[in-house]
Chain A
Amino acid sequence: MTRQLRVDWPACHGRGLCHELLPEIVELDEWGYPIVTGPVPDALRADAETAVSSCPRLALRLVKP
């Protein structure tokens, strides 16, 4: 089942770990903030969960679309 990455925008400080861990579905805009380009495929599910727990601001969540 696909999941979607959602950013908690007031918490995000643009540290970029999510992009480092999931370059396939997270790009960075010109100010360093994440652009989620698509849903999380099953193959990347584990990486997405790592990104969620590694976010220094806990600003990322995995939700049902």
Chain B
Amino acid sequence: MNAPPVPYPDEIRVHPGPALLAGIERGPSLTAHRQQYGDLAWVDVDTLLELVNGVALRGRGGAAFPFARKLETVAGRARRSRRPVVVVNLSEGESASSKDAALALTRPHLVLDGAVATARALGATEIHVVLPAERAFAGRRMREAVAERSGGPPLLLHTAEPRFVAGQSTAVIELISGRPNLPVTSWRPDAVSGLDGRPTLLSNGETWAHVGLLVLQGGASFRRLGNAAEPGTALLTVTGSHRLPHVHEVEYGARLRDVLPDDAAGAPALIGGFHGSWAAWPTVANARVSVPGMRLLGVPLGAGVVHAPGPSVCPLALSARIVAYLAGQSAGRCGPCLNGLPALSAAMDRVTNGHGGRARLEELAQLVVRRGACAHPDGTVRLVRSVFAALPGEVSAHAAGGCLRTPEGLAS
């Protein structure tokens, strides 16, 4: 298995924040958590819907899907003979993202409270928690947290397989079903028919943490953060060369550059992880953390992954390495992905090395999008296309056989 260009960390830095990460210095124990927030109240579905609608809560797994819609769908499909299921996705297969690990380390009970409150409201019979394969430290802490709890629907733990696509929602359902942790074709949304055909509310760990906070504190404090159009906060993982990942909680509307290290200044940054988009420095410098705002800028926030390698790293070479890694991370079952991504990687290498082939690269890009069980090829194409959209100067330099970042030529 090939190693990711941004390595999985053994250690992360988590900064205290205004909401999710408030009071993390008191430790992750259940006692400390209850001291800070009190007991978890029982809420019914309507109250829960009111809470999440009141802040327009969007999922934090990358797709920014409105949580209320998922909740409503699952509640509407639930029957005595078809009990709903709650799934907490902490698998975080993206190596440059560490926010879910940060929550597992510092705020596991916030995540679990959100899931438990929702499960109770829905009458769900079990809660499945999917732990990451690569971050044993996070998995261990989450297991400890689960062991501290009692009452409520049973919390069933699973560990994802070590691969990039392990966190994809159908892959997660497959894992829980006892089959290989690989994406399959989704004929109906999970909320309609997921695990064993039951309505399944699968969400990212951070989303559950926000739900937990809403149930424990109400919506008022949520709405005091961020701005009127986009209340609340988001977790960002900031990585760079030669440093540990730093996880920050930022209010929507805050300046992105405030969480970037000084050595990132002046250089492009990759926003949204390996399936994300490059942004040139001026865009990064002026960007405000916002889901619709950054989508308009052409650099969707995704799961809040920001990789700022600094001025000495060539973004084309790094992208070529990422594409090669992603090609190796194909689940290996969908023909266009299995065949197309390695070809895309080869074409990307040729362009990066100044041997041309832009047309072939774009031809391959069009052949792989929307032709797979999951969005792995689509995300890879987004990365590739963003290089040409955001960094034309770098692209021209490479086409001429040189590189803006390293005077000697191409070095990784």
Contact = CB atoms under 8 A, between A and B. Distances in A.
Q: Do chains A and B touch in the complex (CB under 8 A)?
A: yes
Given A9-B371, A9-B372, A9-B373, A31 B335 contact: yes
Interface string B182-194: 1111010000000
A9 B367 contact: no
A9 B333 CA distance: 7
B371 A10 contact: no
A56 interface: no
Give the interface SS of chain B, mostly helix, strand, loop or mixed. Answer: loop
Contact of B187 (A10, A12, A61): A61
A8 B184 CA distance: 8
Interface string A15-50: 000000000000001111101000000000000000
Nearest to A29: B367
Interface in B123-168: none
Nearest to B332: A10
A14 B337 CA distance: 13
B228 to A, nearest CB: 37
B313 to A, nearest CB: 34
Nearest to A9: B334
Contact of A33 (B184, B331, B371): B371
- Indicate the member of B187, B334, B335, B339 with the most A CB atoms within 10 Å: B335
Contacts of B185: 6, 8-11
B323 to A, nearest CB: 18
B351 to A, nearest CB: 19
Contact of B336 (A8, A33, A61): A33
A21 B257 CA distance: 56
B334 A10 contact: yes
Contacts of B184: 10
A12 B334 contact: yes
Contacts of B372: 9
Given A33-B371, A35-B371, A14 B335 contact: yes
Contacts of B335: 9, 12-14, 31-33
B175 to A, nearest CB: 15
Minimum-distance CB pairs A-B, first 4:
A9-B334, A33-B335, A10-B333, A31-B339
19 contacts: A6-B185, A8-B185, A8-B373, A9-B334, A9-B371, A9-B373, A10-B182, A10-B184, A10-B373, A12-B335, A13-B335, A30-B367, A31-B339, A31-B340, A32-B335, A33-B339, A33-B371, A35-B371, A61-B187
Given A31-B336, A31-B339, 6 more contacts: A9-B335, A9-B372, A10-B182, A12-B335, A14-B335, A61-B187
